[in-house]
């Protein structure tokens, strides 16, 4: 039986991928060959894959409080490597690396 | 050459976000042995070929990174002499009492300008599970997993790293073996040796103080690096780069992250350093080859990603 998968869309309006249950948004992006969200440690520590979840249900794993405060987490500002979708998500990349790469 | 004063890197206390996941990584992937758990929950580990009680200390908290790096010195009197010399420098020092880590004597703690803590200590108990010394086999129990030989060195990111060098050189006799310059020709990464190793610690200039770039473990040779690479893929360890070689230090290497995002290295080789040898320098036009000798260019993550 296939695991459920969820649709992940970015706010750029052109990026949409499928993310299987239990796989993080970042890993799903990476597997799809997309570099719209920067990939770093993939372990919630370095903070380069910071995103804002605009809408949708998800749960998160442990993330460094140096990068994601409790207020951030409550506002959906999280690290994509630790975001596990429970439904379709709309995501806005936030990290400083993202901005610098877009220049 | 006789090594006196500072002998070698002896320990690193690393902050991890989930102890069980960290233990899987450091024990079951790298192959360190668990020595014990302290009353405060810190877990102590050592590599199979290390003589002393522990070398890696894991502390569970919600911000990963490095708490402190320790260096073993040749005598307790050296600590007093160093503390006296440090009064001439604008950096905070303090004494950490014996027993703060089990089996470790008093430590002279130096708050470096870069934002890192360095502890110098003369005494740590010998392990009851150290390498053999009489008719010694190459190992006692069979090494597991990557089978790292020892905690070897670290690269740390922070501010004013040449100020670190001034203190570490003038007080503790660290030598500047190799330098990577920035585009303006100023030191960007400095590689310091207190021994015959190409480096015992390195510092990179960075806008945030007190950051950890990587904690490094020694392997025997290129074959062991290849075996480690197989383990990384088999167990889906996030790898930054490698196997490859550095131009700087000439080490053969893999970089990867622990489950809290702290970067580790396993490596083999590197040139031998002596304090009378000329300093080696890389200009920024050659930074690709300096860092990744085979790829000859940087990747997106190696320089900027730290904890």
Contact B76, B156 (CB under 8 A): no
B76-86 vs B161-172: helix crossing angle, rounded to 10: 130
| CB B197 within 8 Å of CB B251 | no
Looking at the 3D structure of chain A, how many domains does it have? 1
B30-52 average pLDDT score: 98
Report the 10 Å Cβ neighbour count for B224.
20
Contacts of A45 in chain B (CB under 8 A): 17, 64, 257, 260-262, 307
Nearest to A64 among B63, B257, B304 (CB): B63
The pLDDT score that the predictor gives to residue A98 is: 54
Residues B107-140 pLDDT 10s: 999 999 999 999 999 999 999 999 999 999 999 9
Report the 10 Å Cβ neighbour count for A12.
11
Q: Cis omega (within 30 of 0) on the bond before B243?
A: yes
Query: Chain A interface, mutation test: which of B261, B263, B304, most A Cβ atoms within 10 Å?
Result: B261
Q: How much of chain B, in percent, has pLDDT values that exceed 70? A: 99
What is this model's ipTM?
Answer: 0.88
β pairing state of B263-268 and B211-218: parallel
Q: How confident is the model at residue A34 (pLDDT cuts 50, 70, 90)?
A: confident
Q: Which residue in B21, B61, B64 has the most chain A C-beta atoms within 10 A of its own C-beta, making it the best mutation to test that interface?
A: B64
Extract the tokens encoding B29.
């992937």
| A–B interface: beta-carbon pairs under 8 A | 60
Q: Using CB atoms, which residue from B64, B258, B305 is nearest to A48? A: B305
Which structural domain, as residue segments, surrounds residue A31?
5-102
Question: What mean pLDDT do residues B41-64 have?
Answer: 98
B124, B202, B281 from B62: Cα distances, Å: 29, 26, 38
DSSP state of B114: T
Q: Say whether B63 and A65 touch across the interface (CB within 8 A).
A: yes
Alpha helices per DSSP H over chain B: 19-23, 76-86, 161-172, 222-234, 287-291
DSSP state at residue B167: H
Using one digit for the tens of pLDDT, what is the confidence trace for B197-254?
A: 999 999 999 999 999 999 999 999 999 999 999 999 999 999 999 999 999 999 999 9
Does the CA dihedral B126-B127-B130-B133 come out positive or negative? positive
In this complex, the residue of B62, B65, B259 whose CB is nearest that of residue A43 is B259
CATH code of the domain in which A68 resides:
3.10.20.30
């Amino acid at each position: 039986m296939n695991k459920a998968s969820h649709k992940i869309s970015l706010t750029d309006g052109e990026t949409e991928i499928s993310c299987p249950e239990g796989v993080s948004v970042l890993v799903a992006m990476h597997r799809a060959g997309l570099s719209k969200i920067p990939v770093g440690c993939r372990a919630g520590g370095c903070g380069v894959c910071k995103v804002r979840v605009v809408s949708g249900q998800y749960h998160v794993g442990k993330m460094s409080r140096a990068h994601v405060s409790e207020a951030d987490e409550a506002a959906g500002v999280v690290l994509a490597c630790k975001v596990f979708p429970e439904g379709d998500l709309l995501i806005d990349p936030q990290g400083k690396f993202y901005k610098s790469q877009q220049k | 050459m006789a090594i006196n004063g500072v002998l070698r890197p002896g320990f690193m206390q690393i902050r991890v976000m989930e102890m069980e996941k960290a233990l899987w990584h450091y024990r079951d992937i790298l192959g360190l042995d668990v020595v014990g758990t302290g009353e405060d929950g810190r877990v102590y580990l050592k590599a199979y070929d290390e003589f002393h009680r522990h070398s890696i200390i894991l502390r569970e908290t919600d911000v990963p990174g490095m708490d402190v790096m320790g260096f073993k010195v040749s005598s307790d009197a050296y600590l007093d002499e160093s503390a006296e010399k440090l009064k001439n420098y604008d950096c905070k020092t303090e004494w950490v009492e014996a027993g703060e880590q089990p089996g470790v004597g008093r430590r002279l703690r130096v708050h470096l300008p870069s934002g890192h803590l360095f502890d110098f200590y003369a005494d740590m108990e010998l392990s009851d599970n150290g390498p053999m010394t009489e008719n010694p086999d190459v190992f006692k129990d069979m090494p597991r997993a990557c089978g790292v030989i020892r905690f070897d060195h670290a690269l740390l990111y922070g501010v004013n790293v040449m100020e670190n060098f001034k203190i570490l050189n003038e007080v503790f006799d660290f030598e500047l073996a190799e330098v990577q310059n920035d585009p303006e020709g100023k030191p960007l990464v400095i590689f310091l040796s207190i021994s015959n190793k190409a480096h015992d610690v390195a510092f990179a200039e960075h806008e945030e103080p007190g950051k950890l770039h990587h904690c490094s473990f020694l392997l025997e040779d290129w074959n062991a690096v290849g075996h480690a690479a197989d383990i990384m893929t088999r167990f889906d360890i996030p790898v930054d780069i490698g196997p490859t070689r550095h131009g700087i230090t000439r080490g053969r290497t893999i970089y990867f992250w622990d489950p809290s995002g702290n970067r580790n290295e396993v490596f083999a080789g590197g040139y031998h350093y002596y304090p009378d040898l000329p300093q080696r320098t890389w200009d920024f036009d050659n930074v690709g080859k300096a860092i990744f000798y085979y790829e000859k260019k940087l990747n997106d993550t190696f320089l900027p990603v730290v904890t």
